[in-house]
Amino acid sequence: MRGTHPRRTVASVGVAGAGLVLGHWVAYALRTPPAHAREELLQATGHGYLPYATQVALLAGAIGLVALFLARFSHREGRGSFGADATALAAVQSITFVAMEVGERLASGASLHDLAQGNLLAIGITVQLAMAVAGAFVLRATDRVAEEADSRSGVAPLHVPRPLVTVAAVPFASPGRPSMGAAASRAPPSFP
C-alpha cells in the first residue's frame, strides 16, 4: 500500500484547520444563538484569538487545496479515499476541538463546569463531524476538478527523473608485509 503523499497531507491538515475553526464558530452559534451573549461567552472563555486563527486556518486550507490540485494535475498524487479522509478529519477535528476548549478555559481561568455539565462538547463534536464530512467532500472535489482539468489540458505529465548517483570505484590494495630481516625493525615477530 502506498503512503499518503505529502501534498495530500498538507491539504488535509489545512482543511482540518479550516473545518475546526469554522466548526468552532458554528458550535457556539448553536449553543448560544443571541450574538451579544455569544460574544460575551467567547471572550469569557478565552476565545479572543479565534478571529485571527480563523484567517490563518482558512489561508492554510486554501494553500493546501491548491497544492493538492497541482499535485493531482501533474500526476504526482494519487486520489484519496472519501472514507479515509472523512475519518481522519473527524478524528483530528473532534480531538482538537475538545483539547482547545479545555485549554482555552484553563488559560483564561474560566470554569470547566459548562464543558462537563453543559451541551457544548456534544454540539461541538457533532459540528466537527459534519465539518469533517464537508472537508472530505472538498478534498474529493479537488481531486475530481484536477483530474478533469488534466484530461482537458492535453499536457503531458511532468515526470521528474530520479537523480543518478555515481560512485567512483577506487581499487584498494592492502599494504605488503614488512620484511622480517630488517635490523631496524622494532615490531614483534610475526607467527605463521
Binned average pLDDT, 10 residues per bin, the chain of 192 residues:
66 93 95 93 91 93 88 68 93 96 92 82 96 95 85 62 62 61 62 66
Question: Per residue in 7-29, pLDDT tens?
Answer: 778 889 999 999 999 999 999 99
pLDDT of residue 77: 58
pLDDT of residue 1: 34
Which pTM does this prediction carry? 0.73
Q: Which residue, chain included where needed, has cell 463534536?
A: 125
Q: Is the dihedral of CA 39, 43, 44, 46 positive or negative?
A: positive
Determine the Cα–Cα distance for residues 23 and 19; give it in Å rounded to an integer. Answer: 6
pLDDT of residue 186: 66
Q: Which residue, chain included where needed, has cell 478565552?
A: 46
pLDDT of residue 82: 92
pLDDT of residue 152: 78
pLDDT of residue 163: 60
Determine the Cα–Cα distance for residues 187 and 143; give it in Å rounded to an integer. Answer: 74
Domain ranges of the chain: 6-153
Determine the Cα–Cα distance for residues 65 and 137; give it in Å rounded to an integer. Answer: 12
Sequence-ordered list of residues with C-beta below 8 angstroms from that of 25, at least 6 positions apart, any chain = 50, 54
Determine the Cα–Cα distance for residues 151 and 135; give it in Å rounded to an integer. Answer: 24
